[in-house]
C-alpha cells in the first residue's frame, strides 16, 4: 500500500524550518509495513497545493498532509483540499466550541481569526486535536485516503496515534512487515563500532545492519523484513541481541532512549541520589537528567559554577588549587565533585571543567579539553576520580559530548563496569 507524505509551507521550501514530521511519519509507516513512495514539499500557494494534492491522490492509497492549518492568511491547506475535492468549505459548530474552550482553559479569549480552523471541506470529517486549536481533516479523494494534520509536531503525532494509525492499519492488511530499531552507543568512534560488528554489517543480509552517527551517539541500525510480522520481529530481536553482544557495555539503549534515561533508571533501581557541579557544561547535565520524568526521586540538584569564586564559595574548592592547576584540571574537577557530594549529601556527584571554545584555548589546553570528575561513597569515605576528554567540534558539540561523557562514566560505574572502556575519556 503506497503512501505519500506531503509537507506544506514556505518555511520548509526556503529552509527556514527543518521538516521533522516526514521522518517521524516515515518511521511510523514503515513500522506498519507501509512504504513511502515519495515525500514532497510545496510552498504556501493555494493552486499549487491543490494541484499536488490531486497528483498525490492519484499515485498513492494513503496521503498524509502536514501543515497549513494555522489561523493566519498563509495557511491554505483547508481551501486547497476543498478545491482538489471540488467542494466548498463548511463550518463545524463542535469544533468552534472546542477551540473556544482551548483558549478559555488558558485564561484567554478566542481570537476571531481562529474560527477559520473550525472549517473543513464538505464530505470530509474532522480529526480531534487533543493538544492545540486546529482540528485535522480526513477525506476520500478517488481511491486515496487523505489525512491532514497541523504541522506542529506534537499535534501531528497525537492525531497520527489516535486516529490515523488505527485507520490505515485496517487497510494495510497483508503487506510485508518492515521493522526497524536502533541500538545506541556512546564513547567510541563509528569505525571502532563497525569493526566490532564485523560480518553482521554485510549488505546482503536480512536483517540489514548499518551504523549512523548523530549528536555523538554511534547507533547500530537494524532493519528486518518479512511477510510474517512475527518472523520480522524475531529477526529484528536476534540481530539486536547480536549487535548488543558485539558492541559491549558502551551500548546503552534502543531507539529514542538517551543516556540520561538509563542513568535515572539505574539510580532509581538502586535507590541512589545524585548532584552535579558543572563548569563548561553550564547546566546541561542537570538539564538532561531532569528532562527524565520522575527524575526528582534521584536528582537532588546541582551547581553551575562558572566563576571561580562560585567554585570556591559554593563547593569549597580551595582557591589555591585553582591557582596552582587552573580551573580546567584533574584536581579541580575532583574537588568540585567531592564538594557537590558533601554539600548535597548525594551518593554520586559528577563535575565538569573544560574549554568549550571558541575562545579560551591555549597550546597546553586547546579548545575541546575537558576534565570530567565523579565522586562516590565507599563506606564513610568519599572517593573522587577524573577523566580527560579531548573533544572535536564547536562549542555546542564540546558541551554536549562532555555532558554525555559524564553520564556514560556514571552509567558504567552504576553497572560495576570498567570505566576504561570509555575510549573518549581517558584516565590521567
Report d(CA 27, CA 34) in Å as an integer. 10
Neighbour-count burial of 108, counting CB atoms closer than 10 A to its CB (0-12 exposed, 13-18 middle, 19+ buried):
exposed
15: left (phi over 0), alpha (psi -120 to 50) or beta: left
Angle CA 222–223–227, to nearest 5: 145
Helical packing angle, 77-85 and 46-59, nearest 10°: 50
Which is nearest to 36 in space by CA: 175, 203, 181? 175
Q: Cβ distance 157 to 151 under 8 Å?
A: no
CB nearer to a second copy: give 141 or 409.
409
Burial class of residue 230, CB neighbours in 10 A (0-12, 13-18, 19+): exposed
Q: Which residues contact 1 (CB under 8 A, 6 or more apart)?
A: 34, 61, 62, 168, 171, 172, 173, 175
By beta-carbon proximity to a second copy, the closer residue of 54 and 188 is 188
For the beta carbon of residue 9, count every other beta carbon within 10 angstroms. Answer: 23
Structural contact between residues 169 and 159, judged by C-beta atoms closer than 8 angstroms: no
Q: At what angle do helices 229-247 and 190-197 cross, to 10 degrees?
A: 120
Closer residue to a second copy (CB): 14 or 143: 14
- Give CA–CA dist 183/180, Å, rounded: 10
d(C-alpha 258, C-alpha 286), whole Å = 14
Nearer to a second copy, 279 or 408 (CB): 279
426 grid coordinates: 581517558
142/396 with CB nearer a second copy: 396
In this complex, which beta carbon is closest to a second copy, that of residue 213 or of residue 319? 213
Of 53 and 388, nearer to a second copy (C-beta) is 388
Q: How far is the CB of 336 from a second copy (least distance, A)?
A: 12
Tell which residue, 392, 382, 383, 355, has the closest CA to residue 371.
355
C-beta of 226: minimal distance to a second copy in Å? 16
Least separation in angstroms between CB 416 and a second copy = 26
The C-alpha atoms of residue 181 and residue 175 are separated, in whole angstroms, by 19
- φ and ψ of 45, to 5 deg: -140, 115
Closer Cβ to a second copy, 243 or 289, answer by number: 289
Residue number with CB closer to a second copy (376 or 424)? 424
In this complex, which beta carbon is closest to a second copy, that of residue 67 or of residue 141?
A: 67
Closest contact distance (angstroms) between CB of 140 and a second copy is 26
The answer to whether 209 touches 201, Cβ cutoff 8 Å, is yes
Could you tell me the smallest distance in angstroms from the CB atom of residue 55 to a second copy?
14
CB of 148 to a second copy, least distance (A): 17
Nearer to a second copy, 212 or 421 (CB): 212
φ, ψ for residue 275, nearest 5 deg? -135, 155
Amino acid at each position: 500500500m503506497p503512501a505519500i507524505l506531503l509537507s506544506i509551507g514556505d518555511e520548509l521550501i526556503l529552509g527556514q524550518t527543518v521538516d521533522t514530521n516526514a521522518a517521524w511519519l516515515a518511521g511510523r509507516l514503515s513500522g506498519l509495513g507501509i512504504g513511502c513512495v515519495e515525500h514532497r514539499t510545496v510552498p504556501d500557494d493555494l493552486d499549487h497545493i491543490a494541484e499536488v494534492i490531486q497528483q498525490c491522490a492519484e499515485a498513492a492509497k494513503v496521503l498524509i498532509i502536514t501543515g497549513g492549518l494555522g489561523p493566519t492568511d498563509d495557511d491554505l491547506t483547508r481551501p486547497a483540499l476543498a478545491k482538489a475535492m471540488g467542494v466548498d468549505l463548511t463550518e463545524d459548530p463542535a469544533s468552534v466550541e472546542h477551540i473556544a474552550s482551548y483558549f478559555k482553559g488558558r485564561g484567554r479569549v478566542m481570537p476571531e481569526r481562529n474560527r477559520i480552523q473550525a472549517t473543513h471541506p464538505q464530505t470530509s470529517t474532522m480529526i480531534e486535536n487533543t493538544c492545540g486549536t486546529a482540528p485535522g481533516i480526513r477525506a476520500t479523494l478517488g481511491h486515496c485516503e487523505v489525512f491532514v494534520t497541523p504541522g506542529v509536531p506534537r499535534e501531528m503525532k497525537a492525531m497520527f496515534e489516535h486516529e490515523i494509525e488505527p485507520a490505515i492499519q485496517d487497510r494495510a492488511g497483508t503487506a510485508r512487515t518492515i521493522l526497524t530499531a536502533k541500538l545506541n552507543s556512546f564513547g567510541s568512534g563509528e569505525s571502532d563500532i563497525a569493526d566490532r560488528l564485523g560480518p553482521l554489517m554485510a549488505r546482503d543480509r536480512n536483517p540489514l545492519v548499518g551504523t549512523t552517527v548523530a549528536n555523538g551517539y554511534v547507533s547500530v541500525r537494524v532493519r528486518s523484513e518479512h511477510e510474517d510480522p512475527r518472523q520480522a520481529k524475531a529477526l529484528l530481536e536476534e540481530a539486536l541481541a547480536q549487535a548488543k553482544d558485539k558492541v559491549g557495555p558502551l551500548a546503552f539503549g534502543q531507539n529514542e532512549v538517551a543516556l540520561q534515561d538509563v542513568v535515572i533508571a539505574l539510580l532509581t533501581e538502586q535507590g541512589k541520589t545524585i548532584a552535579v557541579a558543572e563548569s563548561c557544561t553550564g547546566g546541561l547535565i542537570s538539564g538532561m537528567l531532569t528532562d527524565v520524568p520522575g527524575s526528582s526521586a534521584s536528582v537532588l540538584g546541582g551547581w553551575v559554577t562558572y566563576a571561580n569564586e562560585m567554585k570556591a564559595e559554593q563547593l569549597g574548592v580551595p582557591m589555591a588549587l585553582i591557582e596552582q592547576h587552573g580551573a580546567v584540571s584533574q584536581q579541580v574537577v575532583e574537588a568540585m565533585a567531592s564538594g557537590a557530594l558533601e554539600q548535597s549529601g548525594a551518593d554520586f556527584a559528577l563535575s565538569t571543567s573544560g574549554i568549550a571554545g571558541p575562545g579560551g584555548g591555549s597550546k597546553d589546553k586547546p579548545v575541546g579539553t575537558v576534565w570530567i570528575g565523579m565522586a562516590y561513597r565507599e563506606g564513610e569515605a568519599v572517593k573522587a576520580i577524573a577523566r580527560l576528554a579531548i573533544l572535536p567540534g564547536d562549542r555546542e558539540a564540546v558541551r554536549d559530548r562532555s555532558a554525555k561523557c559524564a553520564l556514560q562514566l556514571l552509567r558504567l560505574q552504576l553497572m560495576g563496569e570498567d570505566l576504561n572502556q570509555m575510549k573518549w575519556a581517558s584516565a590521567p
